[in-house]
Amino acid sequence: MTERHLNYIAGEWQPAFGGATFEDRNPADERDLIGLFPDSAATDVAAAVASVASAWPAWAAQSPEVRADVLFKAADLMSLRADTIAAELTREEGKTLNEARNEARRIAANFRLYAGEALRLNGETYPSEVAQLVLSLRQPVGVVAVITPWNFPLSMAARKLGPALAAGNGVVFKPSEITPLMGQRLVEVLLDAGLPPKLVALVQGKGAKVGQAITAQAGVDALTFTGSYAVGKQIAASLSTDTRVQLEMGGKNATVILADASIDKAVATIERGAFGLTGQACTGTSRVLVARPLYAELVARLEKSAAAIKVGPGTSEGVQMGPLATRAQYDKVRAYVGIARDEGGRVVGGDALPETDPALAHGYFVRPAVVSDLPENSRLWREEIFGPVVAIRPIDSLDEAIRLADDTEYGLAVSLVTGDLPSVLRFARETQHGIVKVNSPTTGVSLNAPFGGLKHSSNQAAKEQGGANVMDFYSRIKTIYLGA
């Protein structure tokens, strides 16, 4: 029997009003149907927004301790369910079980972090010549729409839902149609932890239809989105000027290897950043700039290392890289490998495993690809791929490294491998990226540190995740003058 899943609107699990559904399938074996999910439309979005709008004022009036308690309980429940949800995440998105467990367990830490923030929604006091006392306080924004991607369907949702709820808001949550089950599991955890039933609405469906309905729907006070630049730009153009918006978008991230770097460390750093999570991370390494004396050896070592990566279903023993998440991703990566060859690049790897391994014939598997000798203006060097493909170029100076690392429309993450402190300080100061990593991969960030990029990687709103200003997007500041 095919399992039929539901939206959660107005405190009830229900199908889409029009009755339409879409399929959710396993990227390691497209014959495996996970279930049918509601293919929602504008009517569902309108009902979700109306329900959340009616519920959030009562939640905002609760004490911070009450809001924190729900998030602490959600963290405990997530810890208990982490292994079960991780297995479902591997089946739905394709990442290895180890990667899925790391993500699922991280959600508990996210909820605990934001439970603490509920207790730290502090205002300030100011000396004044026009009143006895001037003070500020934080209040909720209201209805927050949360639109999340498929590559980290739990952690990216938790770092938006957590602070939104901690600040006293209600949430209309639209997960990616590629990972709808993970969105459902997260909502189930929050409800089981005691979240008021109408405070959150889960609206499943295709991004083009549901996302557009959310941006057109009156009553949405704030929208936070993580995804592609093209979609983010469209969202920003569609929203009312009264709606605050937070956009985290793409990246074309580089790792820079200076001449003093250890080759072993360089290879390990690149491999993890480029091929971990099947290269499907917005902070993933897609370009490598290496000092010319190390270039030939690094290319050879990385080609050998990439070829040794075991690719297969994320549930299989010893697998280091799972499938791409969708047929569209698979076709895109294969197309870019062809483009690299057409542009004159030397390509090692990038094979479609279903063509060479019958056991993988029904999944979206490719070998990681290492591309060298590309011209600087090549499409592979400049365009976001979102797959396990890394391009390598030699450099002759730190000036050139900074110029080439920044020569992209994006500015999310960059990594530098060196032991030279002056170079580290100069690079970190001058590069136009929101995240700078030193002697570590471009991927992997701390929960309590600000996250966000520059240029087309972000709309430069309040940063996501931890830091002093983490609640700025989810709360309004009101100033009060107390006279005699």
Bridge partners (DSSP) of residue 291 are 395
Grouping H, G, I as helix, E, B as strand and the rest as coil, residue 411 is: strand
Active site residues: 248
Q: 388, 278 in Cβ contact below 8 A?
A: yes
- Asked if 251 contacts 285 with a C-beta cutoff of 8 angstroms, the reply is no
163: CB partners within 8 A, 6+ apart: 114, 117, 470, 471, 473, 474
> What contacts 24+ positions apart, CB below 8 Å, involve 420-424?
420/258, 420/260, 423/258, 423/398
Say what the alpha-carbon torsion angle 23, 211, 413, 245 is, to the nearest 10 degrees: -160
- Distance CA(169)–CA(120), nearest Å, equals 16
Residue positions counted in the chain:
484
Alpha helices, DSSP H, located in 63-133? 64-93, 97-118
DSSP conformational letter for 316: S
CB 448 within 8 A of CB 113: yes
1 CB-contact burial (10 Å; exposed 0-12 / middle 13-18 / buried 19+)? exposed
Residues 282, 283, 285, 289, CA torsion sign: positive
The helices-and-strands tally (H runs, E runs) of the chain is 14, 23
263 contact partners, CB below 8 Å, separation of at least 6: 294, 297, 298, 301
3-class DSSP state of 338: helix
The helix (run of H) or strand (run of E) holding residue 222 is: strand 222-226
